[in-house]
Amino acid sequence: MRCVVQRVTRAQVTVEGETVGQIGKGFMVLVGVESEDGPKDMSYCVEKIAGLRVFEDSEDKMNLSLSDVGGQVLLVSQFTLLGDARHGRRPSFIRAERPEIAGPMVEEMAQALRQKGLRVETGRFQAHMQVELVNDGPVTLLLDSRKGF
């Protein structure tokens, strides 16, 4: 499972002109489910997202987590994170999980984050989405449950 975590002051996702998810301060998380991902992969990402200390404390050091600052999460599925563009000009998405498996995993991930006391909004799975965000810092982190980077 791969995630792009961006610290934001605000973020929203719209589908056909309708806002389907919107947050203030927190994390915009793009998530790609890889074939053969399972509960351990999801758990790894949930724990990392909930525990990341990238918000400034009173001494301007990145030392606070989402829960410390009352932050929120906008979780958006993005299978293109699994795209392999090393060969040729057209990326291969063969490593991305099938939608009927990936969709429920993304929803399960959202529920797991909620169980940690976080407010979580989501995009709409398999929809053409427009995502807007204000990256704060900028702070952007890459997570890979298989430690690919």
Its sign, for the CA torsion 121, 35, 95, 4, is positive
Catalytic residues: 78-80
**Length, in residues, of the chain:** 149
- DSSP of 33-80, one letter per residue? PBTT--HHHHHHHHHHHHH---EE-TTS-EEE-HHHHT-EEEEEE-GG
